[in-house]
Amino acid sequence: MALRFYNTLTQSVEEFAPADGKTVRMYTCGPTVYNYAHIGNLRTFTFEDVLRRWLRARGYQLNHVMNITDVEDKIIRKAAEQHKSIQEYTEQYTRAFLEDTATLRLERPERLVKATEHIDDMVRAVQELEAKGFTYTTDGSVYYSIQKFPEYGKLSHNDFSGVRAGARVDVDEYEKADARDFVLWKAPKENEPFWDTPIGPGRPGWHIECSVMAMKYLGATLDIHCGGVDLIFPHHENEIAQSEAITGKPFARFWLHSEFLNIDSQKMAKSAGNFYTLRDLLAMGHTPEAVRYVLLSVPYRKKLNFTFDGLQAAATAIDRLRNFKLRLETEKFADGSNEQISARTQTALRQFEDSLDDDLNTAEALGAIFEYVRDVNTAMDSGEFRRGNVEAALDLLQRFDCIADVLRPTQKQESGLADDDVEALIAQRQQAKKARNFPRADEVRKQLQDAGIILEDTKEGTRWKRK
Ligand SMILES: [Zn+2]
């Protein structure tokens, strides 16, 4: 089956290939760096990571641009509260965002671009929209007149034809019921930072930023534009209105949106006391891999109900996979190859790939792998699994992990034991045992244990893993 995605624009599942057949030109709305990203934000970024990895597994190259929104209403307010410049204020959270996404093993987009480094481009875009008659100016601010763009509403599938001409909105985020002419360029209020430009002093609205940076680096028509469902309106609707007014071409061929994350079936909110950042979860002792697993385990178009039981179950699932891999790598199997198992491995691979081709159905893809692990563990126990089946099984796990990326344990900073150190200590323990120096052997075992290393003595020697 061909690769296909649900396209918010057409409200249908469509076959996907990049326009040039080779490189996927993709834009994803990045963070507004006024705070630490919470796990709801990180769910969207994890979905985009899985999308990246699967597009590449399907043989495509990527040109992926993500913006960093480093000037916006909330940032200006917060920076002023702390008597900091916008740059000082946003720098700490930009760094934190990059650290958190690296911890979660999210691949870096090919290009990360900051809004404040593209003010000139945005000013030129506003001038173009002015020249084409899509704007008007009031009190030094420039607005986009949505009546001038008859297709307004085509992404969110709303009919805005009854909206009163000239009703305006200055804030970056607003509800559907408030569809209004939106601000492209904001005149500065008292004590607000601003840029002096040919269209007057001020700062860009949030929406123009993404249109401008997307088209600057990816061209008039993108292959894929992504974001959370909360961005469909007004943000992405406005991006389409701006970009298509400038170019007269479709702005993006595919629009992919990921659903919300709830905590214990409730909306995550600071006021509800159920608001978590990645840092919060790590401080509670959870691993980045378990968080990553939870975030990717639910298909992106379904609401994800985050629970601590679910996070615990993710850690157990990862352990099962790691133990399976260890077994493949260390157990001695009888010679030969079992044809039935070869066929079973092929089936699992096909199920895994078909599931991801089907609009990234990660739940089914994981299901296919776990059923396989269960079947093969049984075959190993009964001696049916042969040495000749190992390679294909490991290959399947590797293909799985190219997407899931959970098999490698995060090195614990505090344990400080590199793999080589662990191996050396295990060798020392073997020698001590051979020399019947059992106190020394126990001492080494204890040392490893304290560093979070678990030993398992088998017929074939000692296996180890990190806690
Ligand atoms: Zn955006």
Distance of CA 102 to the CA centre of its chain: 11
Q: How far is the CA of 453 from the centre of ligand 1 (A)?
A: 44
Q: How far is the CA of 2 from the centre of ligand 1 (A)?
A: 29
Q: How far is the CA of 151 from the centre of ligand 1 (A)?
A: 19
Q: How far is the CA of 269 from the centre of ligand 1 (A)?
A: 22
Segment 384-396 mean pLDDT? 98
The proportion of the chain whose per-residue pLDDT surpasses 90, expressed as a percent, equals 79
pLDDT of residue 160: 84
pLDDT of residue 414 exceeding 70, the answer is no
Cα–Cα distance for residue pair 97/103, rounded to 1 Å = 10
Count of alpha carbons within 13 angstroms of residue 34, beta-carbon side: 14
Q: How far is the CA of 449 from the centre of ligand 1 (A)?
A: 48
Q: How far is the CA of 11 from the centre of ligand 1 (A)?
A: 20
Segment 362-384 mean pLDDT? 98
Q: How far is the CA of 31 from the centre of ligand 1 (A)?
A: 9
**Greatest mean pLDDT among 26-35, 169-178, 442-451:** 26-35
pLDDT of residue 327 exceeding 90, the answer is yes
In the numeric block, the tokens 């790939």 are attached to 353
The length of the chain is: 467
Q: How far is the CA of 33 from the centre of ligand 1 (A)?
A: 13
- Share the mean pLDDT of the chain: 93
pLDDT of residue 32 exceeding 60, the answer is yes
pLDDT of residue 416: 61
Q: How far is the CA of 240 from the centre of ligand 1 (A)?
A: 11
Q: How far is the CA of 258 from the centre of ligand 1 (A)?
A: 14
Q: How far is the CA of 28 from the centre of ligand 1 (A)?
A: 7
pLDDT of residue 420: 74
Structure confidence at residue 422 as a pLDDT band (50, 70, 90): confident
Q: Is the bond into 204 cis (omega within 30 degrees of 0)? A: no
Q: How far is the CA of 148 from the centre of ligand 1 (A)?
A: 22
Q: Are 215 and 155 in contact (CB under 8 A)?
A: no
Q: Give 149-190 pLDDT, tens digit per residue.
A: 999 999 999 888 777 777 888 888 787 767 789 999 999 988
Q: List, in sequence order, every residue forming a beta bridge with 24; answer none if it has no partner.
A: 62
Structure confidence at residue 413 as a pLDDT band (50, 70, 90): low
**Greatest mean pLDDT among 71-80, 351-360, 444-453:** 351-360
Predicted TM-score (pTM) of the model is 0.87
Q: How far is the CA of 218 from the centre of ligand 1 (A)?
A: 14
pLDDT of residue 406: 98
Q: How far is the CA of 333 from the centre of ligand 1 (A)?
A: 53
Q: How far is the CA of 121 from the centre of ligand 1 (A)?
A: 16
Residue type, 58: R
Q: How far is the CA of 227 from the centre of ligand 1 (A)?
A: 8
Q: How far is the CA of 207 from the centre of ligand 1 (A)?
A: 6
Q: Give 231-284 pLDDT, tens digit per residue.
A: 999 999 999 999 999 999 999 999 999 999 999 999 988 788 889 999 999 999
pLDDT of residue 369 exceeding 80, the answer is yes
Q: How far is the CA of 117 from the centre of ligand 1 (A)?
A: 15
Q: How far is the CA of 363 from the centre of ligand 1 (A)?
A: 28
Residue type, 20: D
Q: How far is the CA of 182 from the centre of ligand 1 (A)?
A: 15
Segment 444-464 mean pLDDT? 83
pLDDT of residue 315: 98
Q: Which two tokens stand for residue 236?
A: 């992405």
Long-range CB contacts (within 8 A, 24+) of 347-350: 348/372, 348/396, 349/396, 349/399
Q: Where are the alpha helices (DSSP H) in 203-287?
A: 206-218, 237-247, 278-283
Q: How far is the CA of 30 from the centre of ligand 1 (A)?
A: 7
Q: How far is the CA of 6 from the centre of ligand 1 (A)?
A: 19
Cα–Cα distance for residue pair 277/295, rounded to 1 Å = 13
Q: How far is the CA of 230 from the centre of ligand 1 (A)?
A: 11
Q: How far is the CA of 209 from the centre of ligand 1 (A)?
A: 7
pLDDT of residue 1 exceeding 90, the answer is no
The residues, any chain, with a CB within 8 Å of residue 244's CB and separated by 6 or more, are 149, 151, 250, 251
Q: How far is the CA of 239 from the centre of ligand 1 (A)?
A: 8
The proportion of the chain whose per-residue pLDDT surpasses 70, expressed as a percent, equals 98
The sheet carrying 261-263 orders its strands as: 266-267, 261-263, 304-306
In the numeric block, the tokens 């929104």 are attached to 69
pLDDT of residue 412: 64
Segment 300-313 mean pLDDT? 97
